[in-house]
Amino acid sequence: MNATTPPPKRKLLVATTSLAGCFGCHMSFLDIDERILDLVELVEFDRSPITDIKHCSPNCDIGIIEGGVCNAENVHVLHEFRKNCKILIAMGACAINGGLPAQRNSLDIRDILAAVYARPGRGVHIPNDPEIPLLLNEVHPLHEVVKIDYFLPGCPPSGDAIWKFLTDLLAGRTPTLGHGLIHYD
Amino acid sequence: MSNGADSKTFFLDEEEIPFEEGQTIIQAALSAGKFIPHLCYHPEFKPHGSCKLCTVRIDSRTVTTEDGQSVKIPGRAAASCTTPAQAGQHVESEVPEIQDLRRTLVQMLLVEGNHYCPSCEKSGKCMLQGLAYDLGVMEPHFPQYFSKREVDASHPDVLLDFNRCILCELCVRASAEVDKKNVFALSGRGNTKHLICNSESGKLGDTNLAATDKAANVCPVGVILHKRHGFEVPYGQRRFDMAPISDNPAQYAPVKEQV
């Protein structure tokens, strides 16, 4: 018998991170519940809060990013994802239009810091340790910094929306959501 | 083709639509149960023709070239809220190129204002959001404008959040035509155009607007909000959670006048 079994299909490497987000999208990701068992048949998690791997492997297939860009570290992480992931997905309202953090954009960053770190009777002490990432003057959506391939709206997108989106993508279809799954809140 | 005087119909996406003399394309379409996306159109008001969401293509032609190829000559694009229906007219609405144009218009509106749905009281019943859902708008496409706009909370019952204004003038028209109060107007031109209130201070609280006025209840987006009524309907049970905006087009049709 020369019959050869096809080589096992390589699992797609998926990296995820949260930038200026609240981790709500990641929590919603976990709302796919037991379907995560079907998912890990198809994908392997690389850098992600789920694995605690600190940096992306150079050959990631899909990068999923929650949150917008509000500080210098966010910019570095976003560039790392773009460099190492073939497909980049902006997940959730903050990644797509800056979301609630971007509501600070109409205010002066100095005024915000002064208001937050003012201590009655003790002046203003704005933390300036070099390890603390510098804030940007405005919060930006991801596509204003790097090329984004797909957008998954929602605050957060529901577990069902994330499942539909990812299964479409993994099956080679253009992800579509339709009524009930497409939400901006 | 129906050109007879007593059988007035036109064709919308190849479907025959009856109309009455004087009706616009959108009025006839909605009355016949066909949805055409719109924002500044309202069945109770004169057409405004500013949002262009209801743009349709009229009387495209197919011609045969000398080498025998069929070429489509696109018809004229027109706002269906201001264009009178005419017998025998062929109107294209739900076709990819028109839907693409509408999607682009919605994206431009979304980036021009500060439309943060998660914190908006109108979310779930906002026409702009409902249209964006229906058109499948997944991303803003354009850079966010991050316009700096104020909030006016001076009125005891009504809050104004200018961040979400799409300049449809429905409140302007309602206040002038129905309430006879002229509380609202648009001021400025181009990207400085904005909604203003008719009082010496410029504040809504110094106008004679009442929460029961038509103008206070006609905003299609989240600009004119009633205080103490935010988030009354839970997530999942709001208007566009239950049904898409294109559901039951007759709800947007002009009400028949009683003879």
| Mean of pLDDT values over A30-43 | 96
Q: Give every residue of chain B whose pLDDT is below 70, as ranges.
A: 1-7, 257-259
Counting the structural domains of chain B, the total is 2
| Mean of pLDDT values over A77-93 | 98
Whether B257 is covered by a domain: the verdict is no
User: Using a CB-CB distance cutoff of 8 angstroms, which residues of chain A are in contact with residue B243?
Assistant: 179
Whether B249 is covered by a domain: the verdict is no
User: Using a CB-CB distance cutoff of 8 angstroms, which residues of chain A are in contact with residue B125?
Assistant: none
Domain range spanning residue B33? 9-94
- The verdict on A174 touching B (C-beta cutoff 8 Å) is no
Q: How far apart are CA B147 and CA B191, in angstroms?
A: 10
Report residue B142 as tokens.
């354009």
Whether A86 is covered by a domain: the verdict is yes
- On whether both B89 and B107 belong to a single domain, the answer is no
The pLDDT of residue A43 is above 90? yes
- On whether both B127 and B86 belong to a single domain, the answer is no
Nearest-CA neighbor of B82 among B34, B38, B25, B36? B25
- On whether both B28 and B66 belong to a single domain, the answer is yes
Closest residue in B to A101 (Cα) is: B116
Amino acid identity at A21:
G
CA distance A28 to chain B (A): 15
- The verdict on A35 touching B (C-beta cutoff 8 Å) is no
What band does A3 get if pLDDT is binned at 50, 70 and 90? low
Query: Do the Cβ atoms of B118 and A140 come within 8 Å?
Result: no
Closest residue in B to A144 (Cα) is: B143
- A79: domain CATH number is 3.40.50.700
Opening angle at CA B177, ends B175 and B181, nearest 5: 40
Query: Do the Cβ atoms of A103 and B124 come within 8 Å?
Result: no
- On whether both B77 and B110 belong to a single domain, the answer is no
Whether B248 is covered by a domain: the verdict is no
- On whether both B237 and B109 belong to a single domain, the answer is yes
Whether A130 is covered by a domain: the verdict is no
pLDDT of residue B6: 57
Whether A150 is covered by a domain: the verdict is yes
CA distance A137 to chain B (A): 12
- B116: domain CATH number is 3.30.70.20
Whether B167 is covered by a domain: the verdict is yes
Nearest-CA neighbor of B179 among B147, B208, B148? B208
Nearest-CA neighbor of B32 among B13, B47, B45? B13
Counting the structural domains of chain A, the total is 1
Strands (E) located in A27-68? 43-45, 60-66
What band does A6 get if pLDDT is binned at 50, 70 and 90? confident
Share the mean pLDDT of chain A.
94
The pLDDT of residue A91 is above 60? yes
DSSP track, B112-155 = HTT--GGG-TTTTS-HHHHHHHHHT-----SPP------EE--S
Q: How far apart are CA A77 and CA B63, in angstroms?
A: 55
B52 backbone φψ class: left, alpha, beta (φ>0; ψ -120 to 50): left
The pLDDT of residue A116 is above 70? yes
Interfacial residues of B (vs A; Cβ cutoff 8 Å): 110-111, 114-120, 123-124, 129, 132-134, 136, 138-140, 143-144, 146, 148-149, 235, 241, 243-244
Query: Do the Cβ atoms of A97 and B120 come within 8 Å?
Result: no
Q: What is the pLDDT of residues B143-165, one digit of tens each?
A: 999 999 999 999 999 999 999 99
Domain range spanning residue A33? 12-105+137-170
Closest residue in A to B129 (Cα) is: A184
Q: What is the pLDDT of residues A117-146, one digit of tens each?
A: 988 888 888 999 999 999 999 999 999 999
Whether A121 is covered by a domain: the verdict is no
User: Using a CB-CB distance cutoff of 8 angstroms, which residues of chain A are in contact with residue B124?
Assistant: 185
- The verdict on A169 touching B (C-beta cutoff 8 Å) is no
pLDDT of residue B259: 47
Say if residues B167 and B208 touch (Cβ distance below 8 Å): no
- The verdict on A103 touching B (C-beta cutoff 8 Å) is yes
- On whether both B119 and B149 belong to a single domain, the answer is yes
pLDDT of residue B191: 84
Whether A47 is covered by a domain: the verdict is yes
Whether B259 is covered by a domain: the verdict is no
CA distance B18 to chain A (A): 30
Query: Do the Cβ atoms of A102 and B146 come within 8 Å?
Result: yes
| Mean of pLDDT values over A86-104 | 96
- The verdict on A106 touching B (C-beta cutoff 8 Å) is yes
Domain boundary among B65, B94, B123: B94
- On whether both B113 and B232 belong to a single domain, the answer is yes
Q: Lowest mean pLDDT of A57-66, A124-133, A159-168, B119-128, name the range.
A: A124-133
Whether B165 is covered by a domain: the verdict is yes
β-pairing verdict for B158-161 and B151-152: antiparallel
- Closest CB from B129, B139, B241 relative to A151: B139
- B26: domain CATH number is 3.10.20.740
Share the mean pLDDT of chain B.
94
Size of interface A-B (CB pairs under 8 A): 72
Whether A75 is covered by a domain: the verdict is yes
- On whether both B137 and B236 belong to a single domain, the answer is yes
